[in-house]
Amino acid sequence: MRRANIFKLKPTKEQEKKLFELADNCSRLWNEINYKRRQSFFSGEIDWNTDEEYNKYKHLIGSATAQQIIIKNNEAWKSYFALLKRKAKGKLPKYQNVRPPRYWKDRKKGKRVLRILIRNDCYKLGGDVLRLPLGLRIKWKGRNRWKGKQGRLEIVYDDLSKSWYALQPVEVKPLHQPIGNKKAYCDLGVRVPIMAEIDGEVIGFRGNSLLADWWYWTEKIAEHQSMLKETNDKHTSKRLRKLYRKRKRRFRHAVNTIVSRFVELCYSKGVSEIVVGDLNGIRENNTKGKKANSMIHNFWSHKYLVQRIKEKAEEYGIKVIEVNESYTSSVCPRCHSRNVFKRKRLFKCLNCGLEAHRDAVGCVNIAIGHAQTSRSAGVINGAVARPLLLSAEAGTSHASA
């Protein structure tokens, strides 16, 4: 599996000057290659020849770095063509647009995106010093978490924090292997990010504090946007971009905490496969009022949640598959009736009288549909009606009726 170490670089003023010059030339090379290929592609046949650009920049940035930028651009175009084929076969969501590789340029600020690519055998990370070509020896700080075969190093400049960061991809082996062969069936939601049925027990993770924090920073963003409009008639600022980043980082940190504890719980219970409901297309034609729409379309990042579950489960050797979850929260798991009443998190079957947590009903129905077996009445009446809800922040637990 592939993971990445991220380090913050601490260059001197002289070193930073060299980094700016090197990164600017790297961006210019990328943009020139990409412009040539975009123009030829729109004309009918893409031009893959890069000899002219390579010879122009190899003395400025080094032949190995010029080679890596060309390879990365090749990879971007090949990925684009692969996505076009998948789109033509109907294997991508309707709302997903496929665009040619873009330039390394921030259109709003009119500046190049500064980025440097270093071949895997042209840099060395030792002690607190990163050894780079052109005689650069730069100090760094961070956590060298992953050990393994190092890949192409990518150095980027963050304009908001005015800092340089190095991203090192590493090929590593899974840290653990499953200790059992059980399955976990998951229903992903907004207020309860993960609700899972494991061996007859239903366990969920509360997202109340996560949602409250997101609303807090959303209001801060709205206040700043209003102030910008009134005072300067502007739509963006450095402060606004920082607020957006802070909201995103806090959200992802909370999601990563929930996912980490969920996968660790699965591993401890002997789970070897996690079955997740496929949520593609759930946002289409979904209008439930201003606040609900904001949570579904802006707050809820189910694609990121599934991605993090897959990545974390991979570290434990646990397989993750996605299955259709249509109507799983609208059918009674006991009598299979659709004559039900739903209000917020409450699910009530008007035929058999089952009252349960709506998300718990969803994950149990996923388990029934995937395994093609029925759960015992005891499991349905007990675990579904009173699932164990965990608070990821405090590690506490509560039973919910």
Neighbour tally for 400: CB within 10 Å: 17
User: Per the domain annotation, does 32 fall within a domain?
Assistant: yes
Do 39 and 147 reside in the same domain of the chain? Answer: yes
CA contacts within 13 A on the Cβ side of 361: 28
User: Per the domain annotation, does 17 fall within a domain?
Assistant: yes
User: Per the domain annotation, does 228 fall within a domain?
Assistant: yes
Q: What is the pLDDT of residues 191-208, one digit of tens each?
A: 889 999 998 888 999 888
Q: Which whole number is the average pLDDT over 103-122? A: 92
Q: What is the pLDDT of residues 337-386, one digit of tens each?
A: 889 898 877 888 898 888 888 888 888 888 888 765 444 444 565 667 67
**Where does the pLDDT of residue 286 fall: very low under 50, low under 70, confident under 90, or very high at 90 and above?**
low
Of 110-114, 127-131, 193-197, 292-296, which range is least confident?
292-296
**Where does the pLDDT of residue 297 fall: very low under 50, low under 70, confident under 90, or very high at 90 and above?**
low
Write 188-191 long-range contacts (CB < 8 A, 24+): 188/276, 188/277, 188/279, 188/302, 188/305, 188/306, 189/359, 189/362, 190/295, 190/296, 190/299, 190/300, 191/345
Rounded CA separation 57/155 (Å): 18
User: And the tokens for 385?
Assistant: 């009606």
- Specify the pLDDT at position 358: 86
Cα dihedral sign, 227-231-233-235: negative
CA contacts within 13 A on the Cβ side of 308: 21
- Specify the pLDDT at position 127: 84
First to last CA, the chain: 40
Do 374 and 274 reside in the same domain of the chain? Answer: yes
**Predicted confidence (pLDDT) at residue 165 exceeds the cutoff of 80:** yes
Do 281 and 134 reside in the same domain of the chain? Answer: no
How many structural domains is the chain composed of? 2
Q: Which whole number is the average pLDDT over 125-143? A: 91
Q: What is the pLDDT of residues 203-235, one digit of tens each?
A: 999 888 888 999 999 999 999 999 998 888 888
- For residue 390, the enclosing domain spans 182-399
**Predicted confidence (pLDDT) at residue 246 exceeds the cutoff of 80:** yes
More reliable by pLDDT, 49 or 285: 49
Do 15 and 98 reside in the same domain of the chain? Answer: yes
User: Per the domain annotation, does 353 fall within a domain?
Assistant: yes
Which of 138, 171, 204 finishes a domain?
A: 171
**Where does the pLDDT of residue 295 fall: very low under 50, low under 70, confident under 90, or very high at 90 and above?**
low
DSSP letter string, 322-373: EEE-TTTTSS-TTT----EEEETTEEEETTT--EEEHHHHHHHHHHHHHHT-
Q: pLDDT averaged over the chain?
A: 88
User: Per the domain annotation, does 177 fall within a domain?
Assistant: no
Q: Which whole number is the average pLDDT over 145-161? A: 94
Q: Which helix (H) or strand (E) holds 117?
A: strand 115-118
Do 141 and 55 reside in the same domain of the chain? Answer: yes
Which of 145, 171, 197 finishes a domain?
A: 171
Q: What is the pLDDT of residues 9-49, one digit of tens each?
A: 999 999 999 999 999 999 999 999 999 999 999 998 899 99
Rounded CA separation 91/87 (Å): 6
**Predicted confidence (pLDDT) at residue 159 exceeds the cutoff of 70:** yes
pTM of the model: 0.87
Helix (H, G, I), strand (E, B) or coil at 7: strand
Nearest by Cα to 193 from 316, 327, 270, 306: 306
- Specify the pLDDT at position 376: 45
Neighbour tally for 4: CB within 10 Å: 13
Do 289 and 382 reside in the same domain of the chain? Answer: yes
Do 64 and 107 reside in the same domain of the chain? Answer: yes
Given the structure tokens 């002690």, which residue do they identify?
Answer: 127
Do 206 and 59 reside in the same domain of the chain? Answer: no
Q: Which whole number is the average pLDDT over 258-264? A: 95
- Specify the pLDDT at position 399: 54
**Where does the pLDDT of residue 333 fall: very low under 50, low under 70, confident under 90, or very high at 90 and above?**
confident
Q: Which whole number is the average pLDDT over 160-169? A: 95
**Predicted confidence (pLDDT) at residue 285 exceeds the cutoff of 60:** no
Q: Which whole number is the average pLDDT over 157-184? A: 93
Do 64 and 160 reside in the same domain of the chain? Answer: yes
Of 111-120, 211-220, 319-328, which range is least confident?
319-328
More reliable by pLDDT, 294 or 252: 252
More reliable by pLDDT, 286 or 31: 31
User: Per the domain annotation, does 282 fall within a domain?
Assistant: yes
Rounded CA separation 321/371 (Å): 13
Do 150 and 187 reside in the same domain of the chain? Answer: no
Contact 167, 6 (CB under 8 A): yes
Q: Which helix (H) or strand (E) holds 53?
A: helix 51-61
Q: What percent of the chain has pLDDT over 90?
A: 57
Nearest by Cα to 194 from 207, 182, 181, 209: 207
Which of 137, 171, 205 finishes a domain?
A: 171
User: Per the domain annotation, does 195 fall within a domain?
Assistant: yes
Residue 297: DSSP 8-state: I
Rounded alpha-carbon distances, angstroms, from residue 162 to 11, 36, 207, 369, 395 = 12, 31, 33, 52, 36
Q: What is the pLDDT of residues 373-396, one digit of tens each?
A: 444 444 565 667 677 888 765 444
Nearest by Cα to 8 from 155, 123, 152: 155
Do 128 and 221 reside in the same domain of the chain? Answer: no
Do 145 and 188 reside in the same domain of the chain? Answer: no
Rounded CA separation 127/149 (Å): 17
User: Per the domain annotation, does 176 fall within a domain?
Assistant: no
